[in-house]
């Protein structure tokens, strides 16, 4: 049917109004981006926060983003940073590439004057893999609680953590190895500069992360380069506080030696040759050894433990904790035997003080299975989180809120998650309030806990304190009483979990350092 001319004009005007209602243009570093409105939010994906780290920019600090003309559509996620494998069992492998320094924003703000608190998520993946585009990390449910949620990609594996004498010599900071952390710092600086345009408050930024993301946050709290970039920190199951005697390659000289062995394994012993290699080639050879932080004097002038013990950390309120059965998602216990227990531990982690193994009785195969899971839980997660809480409580002025996650999600039998229990990753469905992403038999108690945890987390981002009616009271953790919130059904307050075995680690580490964990300001 032919539309009369006046009606056609009205029709076109209405269409333009509808199009405007579904999009939003914002000016950021580099130009204008256009997001999409959905469910009361405006969502922006794949905004570049730095220049693509390719060619001559490979293994350099992130450079300013290149400007673009016109309006850039920001409605589809960018590629994840180059990687192998996936960060979480059952995750679909992401599309990857070197051009990966992009940021995503979920905002409920109606205008830029809203001044909403901001939560910046740092994904995990052992510094080897992971993606900000994983559906589980979507910020829509948290954003509807009155915060802006941000996520981003950062360089991983050898592209993010390669140290070499040549790289150290060419660097203005005389350091190499922590490019992934320089990316994280660049993303946080982008947030400070640009988040007001999305209705955010640059003076109320909270970083939160899980696993390697939480490890990153412990490092950012220790880095002078990150000072003033965030006002709150949430760490879920990850920190970096062990004695460096157990990780000599984390020092610059050791990391450079490791990097030289990696380069030789690729048949590219010079930096120029490495920069000419195809990106996928960089994931071969001894690439697996290049996936850890480096104490290189610039981003990380000292170990986080030493920084916190001296009271020099970026002092912000902290919410942190770990899960009751962390190792269930990470270790296959079916082949664990009492006879080979010690040898298997040494094969997995390298030489360890014998006293550590003695703290986990394993006379029978059944005892050995329990001991293996408990050892992994304490070594990789429990001791770090307990120590992070103790150090901040002792040497910082800002409060600590410490949790222990004990809820067992209804992981289906026969699935990749079967038997996990309150394992590594398990809290994420609750934190992001994303139970409905999986067709599992979630109970009313699961849904109540997800609502409570998402509210605790967003309350913390708003005020630096997770408390608020009608939630159960979360007490502040102190060195004197060590009160911990147990996140389960019901939510309850108790002492530090697994204190007996954690104390075994603590005694061994104190002996290696020559001093116990501080209990008061230096």
Note the pLDDT tens digit of each residue in 106-163: 999 999 999 999 999 999 999 999 999 999 999 999 999 999 999 999 999 999 999 9
pLDDT in tens, 304-321: 999 999 999 999 999 999
Give the pLDDT of residue 4.
Answer: 47
Residue 300: closest CA among 231, 186, 212, 224: 224
Cα–Cα dist 312/211, whole Å:
23
Residue 341 has pLDDT above 50, yes or no: yes
Residues 236/427, Cβ–Cβ less than 8 Å: yes
pLDDT in tens, 253-264: 999 999 999 999
Catalytic choice (211, 216, 237, 322): 211
Q: Report the predicted TM-score, pTM, of the whole model to 2 decimal places.
A: 0.95
Catalytic choice (102, 123, 404, 424): 424
pLDDT in tens, 366-420: 999 999 999 999 999 999 999 999 999 999 999 999 999 999 999 999 999 999 9
Residues 84/30, Cβ–Cβ less than 8 Å: no
| β-bridge partners, 235 | 209, 320
Residues 320/389, Cβ–Cβ less than 8 Å: yes
**Does residue 325 have an active-site annotation?**
no
Catalytic choice (258, 296, 325, 326): 326
Residue 430 has pLDDT above 70, yes or no: yes
**Does residue 326 have an active-site annotation?**
yes
Q: What is the mean pLDDT of the chain?
A: 94
Q: 3-class DSSP state for residue 104?
A: strand
Cα–Cα dist 373/367, whole Å:
10
Q: Are strands 71-73 and 31-38 parallel, antiparallel or unpaired?
A: parallel
Cα–Cα dist 256/264, whole Å:
12
Residues 165/261, Cβ–Cβ less than 8 Å: no
Give the pLDDT of residue 13.
Answer: 40
Give all domains of the chain, ordered by start, each with its CATH number. Answer: 32-316 (3.40.50.1820), 326-522 (3.40.50.1820)
**Does residue 151 have an active-site annotation?**
no
């Amino acid at each position: 049917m032919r539309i009369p001319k006046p009606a056609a004009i009205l029709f076109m005007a209405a269409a333009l109004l509808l199009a405007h209602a579904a999009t939003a243009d914002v000016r950021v570093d580099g130009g204008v981006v256009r997001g999409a409105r959905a469910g009361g939010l405006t969502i922006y994906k794949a905004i570049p926060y730095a220049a693509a780290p390719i060619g001559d920019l490979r293994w350099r600090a992130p450079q300013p983003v290149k400007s673009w003309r016109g309006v850039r559509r920001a409605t589809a996620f960018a590629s994840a940073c180059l990687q192998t494998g996936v960060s979480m069992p059952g995750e679909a492998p992401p599309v990857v590439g070197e051009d990966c320094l992009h940021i995503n924003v979920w905002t409920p703000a109606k205008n830029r004057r809203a001044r909403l608190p901001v939560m910046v998520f740092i994904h995990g993946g052992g510094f080897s893999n992971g993606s900000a585009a994983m559906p589980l990390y979507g910020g829509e449910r948290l954003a509807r609680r009155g915060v802006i949620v941000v996520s981003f990609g950062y360089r991983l594996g050898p592209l993010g953590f390669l140290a070499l004498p040549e790289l150290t010599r060419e660097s203005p900071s005389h350091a190499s190895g922590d490019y992934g952390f320089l990316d994280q710092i660049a993303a946080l600086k982008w947030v400070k500069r640009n988040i007001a345009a999305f209705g955010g408050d640059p003076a109320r930024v909270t970083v939160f992360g899980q696993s390697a993301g939480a490890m990153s946050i412990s490092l950012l709290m220790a880095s002078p380069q990150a000072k003033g970039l965030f006002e709150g920190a949430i760490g879920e199951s990850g920190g970096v506080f062990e004695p460096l005697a157990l990780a000599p390659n984390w020092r610059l000289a050791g990391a450079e030696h490791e990097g030289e062995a990696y380069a030789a394994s690729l048949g590219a012993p010079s930096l120029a040759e490495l920069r000419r290699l195809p990106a996928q080639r960089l994931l071969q050879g001894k690439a697996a050894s290049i996936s850890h932080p480096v104490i290189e004097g610039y981003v990380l002038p000292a170990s986080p433990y030493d920084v916190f013990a001296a009271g020099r950390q970026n002092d912000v309120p902290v919410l942190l904790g770990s899960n009751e059965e962390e190792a269930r998602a990470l270790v296959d216990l079916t082949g664990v035997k009492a006879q080979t227990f010690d040898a298997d531990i040494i094969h997995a982690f390298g030489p360890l003080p014998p006293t550590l193994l003695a703290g986990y009785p394993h006379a029978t195969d059944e005892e050995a299975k329990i001991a293996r899971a408990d050892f992994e839980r304490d070594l990789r997660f429990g001791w770090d989180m307990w120590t992070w809480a103790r150090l901040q409580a002792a040497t910082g002025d800002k409060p600590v809120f410490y949790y222990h996650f004990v809820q067992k999600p209804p992981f289906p039998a026969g699935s990749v998650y079967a038997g996990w229990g309150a394992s590594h990753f398990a809290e994420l469905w609750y934190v992001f309030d994303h139970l409905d992403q999986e067709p599992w038999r979630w109970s009313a108690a699961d849904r109540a806990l997800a609502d409570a945890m998402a509210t605790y987390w967003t309350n913390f981002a708003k005020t630096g304190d997770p408390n608020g009616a009608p939630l159960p009271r979360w007490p502040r953790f102190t060195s004197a009483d060590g009160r911990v919130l147990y996140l389960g059904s019901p939510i309850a307050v108790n002492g530090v979990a697994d204190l007996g075995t954690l104390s075994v680690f603590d005694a061994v580490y104190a002996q290696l350092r020559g001093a116990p964990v501080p209990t008061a300001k230096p």
